[in-house]
């Protein structure tokens, strides 16, 4: 049987990096079974032990920073600074955060119980790892967006089978190189090589949770495939993030923020600024300053390079189509969309309208459309009209106004007077709404997303029968009704006891000392009334 291969080429210059053998379909199930066996061992370890085993990875990333950076530059086309900021720093911050907090985040939680409804009982819940998590990751941040969910799954006690994009297979190989020296149970982490068909095969082998990062259409396919079994999914999908600049904003800071938010990693960021709204009175000077700033950005990998290559050949055609559509419908541009191989010069567009593709669909490239606004309510409706809800940045010296506006927008994340940085905060949950997906990772909530909750209650009662057990009778109905009125009815406690006194006596043997104070209070009350 002929083994299929995938060749990987560098977007820097088109050179062939390596050919990889596609994982045969029959191997996918075996690797899933191997990961499941290893996960049974791994999940028995304490959180502290898991963290200790994983901790050398953090040291390795720091010690081998330059080599890892060069490997990622070759695969993704990023400039080196983008590798540090977007690929490596978030992982180091995450590992440091979970090293300090994961034990408390995943610790069992006691829950108080009513001494009346649950006498002699204790309750609580704990977080149980799913088993095996399938991680399917994209090409734009192949190291970070693979390792972040992979490590979260491991810390939570799961095994992992992961598939990197076929455009970034050398990064999958790098991840295995980084994990191999760790004292993990053999087979706990498995890597699959392949395209969409391998991803479908992975889901058919029934992992216990699917974590997918990618585009909306692929996310729909993943969700539909998982629903057949069913398997829970976390979908981190695209964005069309808005930046809202009010007239009282710091002009130069907001211009620089727009420049970075739109064009870092050549716009290949799910939380990139892809729609810029500027208040009327500031609009002209803002666009003028922005165009001046864009003109001096350096494209390429020289010492002063700001923007790297576009990683995906398909994405180049998407970007070019949106640019042509905008100009055909009347937009003005800061310059032509100049292409040199996989490199594109960034472009600012104005005189854009809401019906243009560039204002409605994800661009994932170095184009920034700018529109003006005059009314805050109208602005909210325009932002909401696009059904992506990932991130938004709001710029104003009036922090209260900015917060109030943020809370009106259907997004999973927001930031005031800055861009993107909130996504890098390891303690903040991250995820979207609408076409930006659902589910969260990062932070405490994100770590718990890789577990399911198991609740339990222990009764220490020694009665032969509970008051809610059979047999039922009309008398028991009246007693239970009185009990509900006593717990939840109107009036004071003593008043509720008084009107239900006769029926409540049936519960004395169950309540014991827990109700004793109420009974004593009532007897004192009755005694005083009699005297």
Q: Is 270 among the catalytic positions?
A: yes
Residues 486, 500 contacting (CB under 8 angstroms): yes
> HSE-up of 495 (CA within 13 Å, CB side)?
5
Q: At 307, is the secondary structure helix, strand, or coil?
A: strand
Supply 59's token pair. 């040291």
Q: Which residues pair with 367 in a beta bridge?
A: 347
* Per-residue b or e along 42-70, where b marks 16 or more CB atoms closer than 10 Å to that residue's CB: bbeeebeebbebbeebbebbeeeeeebbe
In angstroms, rounded to a whole number, what is the distance separating the alpha carbons of residues 435 and 512? 55
Q: Which of 270, 274, 362, 479 is catalytic?
A: 270
Q: Which residues pair with 152 in a beta bridge?
A: none
Supply 471's token pair. 């047999």
Which of 395, 413, 426 lies closest to 105 in space, CA to CA? 426
- Beta 451-459 vs 121-129: how paired, if at all? antiparallel
Give residue 24's region: left, alpha or beta (phi > 0; psi -120 to 50).
beta
3-state secondary structure 111-169: ECCCCCCCCCEEEEEEEEECCEEEEECCCCCCCHHHHHHHHHHHHCCCEEEEECCHHHH
Q: How far is CA 135 from CA 147, 149, 223, in A?
A: 9, 7, 13
Q: Is 381 among the catalytic positions?
A: no
Q: At 234, is the secondary structure helix, strand, or coil?
A: strand
Helix-strand-coil split of the chain, %, nearest 5: 45, 20, 35
In angstroms, rounded to a whole number, what is the distance separating the alpha carbons of residues 42 and 37? 9
Query: How many of the other CB atoms lie within 10 Å of CB of 498?
Result: 15
Residues 306, 299 contacting (CB under 8 angstroms): yes
In angstroms, rounded to a whole number, what is the distance separating the alpha carbons of residues 184 and 177? 13
Task: Give yes or no for a cis peptide into 517 (omega within 30° of 0).
Answer: no
Any idea how long the chain is?
Answer: 531
Q: At 344, is the secondary structure helix, strand, or coil?
A: strand
Q: Which of 87, 201, 236, 479 is catalytic?
A: 236
Fill in the DSSP letter of residue 430: B
Residues 237, 437 contacting (CB under 8 angstroms): yes
Residues 442, 458 contacting (CB under 8 angstroms): no
Active-site residues: which are they? Answer: 236, 270
């Amino acid at each position: 049987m002929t083994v299929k291969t995938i060749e990987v080429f560098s977007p820097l210059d088109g050179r062939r990096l390596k050919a990889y053998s596609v994982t045969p379909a029959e191997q996918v199930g075996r690797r899933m079974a191997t990961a499941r066996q290893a996960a049974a061992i791994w999940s028995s370890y304490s959180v502290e032990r898991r963290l200790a085993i994983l901790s050398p990875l953090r040291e390795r990333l720091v010690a081998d920073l330059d080599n890892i950076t060069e490997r990622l530059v070759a695969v993704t086309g990023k400039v080196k600074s983008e590798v540090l900021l977007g690929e490596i720093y978030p992982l180091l911050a995450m590992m440091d955060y979970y090293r300090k907090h994961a034990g408390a985040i995943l610790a069992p939680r006691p829950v108080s119980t009513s001494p009346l409804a649950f006498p002699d009982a204790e309750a609580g819940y704990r977080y149980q790892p799913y088993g095996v998590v399938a991680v399917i990751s994209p090409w734009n941040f192949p190291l970070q967006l693979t390792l972040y969910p992979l490590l979260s799954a491991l810390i939570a006690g799961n095994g992992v089978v992961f598939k990197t994009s076929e455009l970034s297979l050398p990064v999958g190989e790098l991840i295995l190189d980084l994990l191999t020296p760790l004292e993990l149970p053999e087979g706990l982490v498995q890597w699959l090589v392949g395209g969409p068909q391998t991803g479908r095969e992975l889901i058919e082998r029934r992992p216990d949770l699917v974590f997918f990062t990618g585009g909306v259409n692929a996310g729909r396919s993943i969700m539909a495939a998982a629903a057949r079994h069913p398997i829970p999914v976390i979908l981190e999908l695209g964005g069309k993030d808005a930046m809202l600049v009010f007239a009282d904003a710091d002009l130069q800071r907001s211009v620089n923020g727009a420049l970075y938010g739109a064009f870092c990693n050549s716009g290949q960021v799910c939380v990139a600024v892809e729609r810029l709204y500027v208040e009327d009175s500031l609009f002209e000077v803002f666009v003028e300053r922005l165009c001046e700033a864009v003109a001096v950005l350096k494209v390429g990998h020289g010492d002063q390079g700001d923007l790297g290559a576009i990683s995906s050949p398909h994405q180049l055609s998407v970007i070019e189509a949106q640019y042509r559509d905008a100009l055909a419908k009347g937009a003005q541009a800061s310059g032509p969309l100049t292409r040199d191989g996989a490199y594109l010069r960034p472009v600012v567009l104005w005189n854009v309208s809401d019906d243009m593709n560039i204002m409605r669909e994800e661009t994932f490239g170095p184009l920034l459309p700018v529109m003006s606004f005059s009314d805050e309510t109208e602005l909210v409706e325009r932002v909401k009209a696009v059904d992506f809800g990932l991130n938004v940045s709001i710029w104003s010296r009036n922090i209260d106004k900015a917060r109030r506006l943020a809370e009106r927008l259907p997004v999973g994340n927001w930031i005031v007077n800055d861009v993107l940085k909130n996504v890098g905060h390891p303690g903040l949950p991250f995820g979207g709404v609408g076409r930006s997906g659902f589910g969260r990772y990062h932070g405490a909530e994100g770590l718990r997303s890789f577990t399911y909750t198991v609740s339990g209650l222990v009764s220490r009662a020694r009665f032969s029968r509970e008051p809610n057990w059979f047999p039922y009778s009309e008398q028991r109905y009246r007693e239970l009704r009185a009990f509900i009125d006593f717990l939840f009815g109107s009036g004071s406690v003593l008043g509720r006891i008084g009107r239900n006194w006769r029926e409540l006596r049936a519960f004395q043997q169950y309540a014991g000392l827990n109700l004793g104070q109420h009974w004593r209070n009532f007897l004192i009350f009755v005694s005083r009334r009699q005297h």
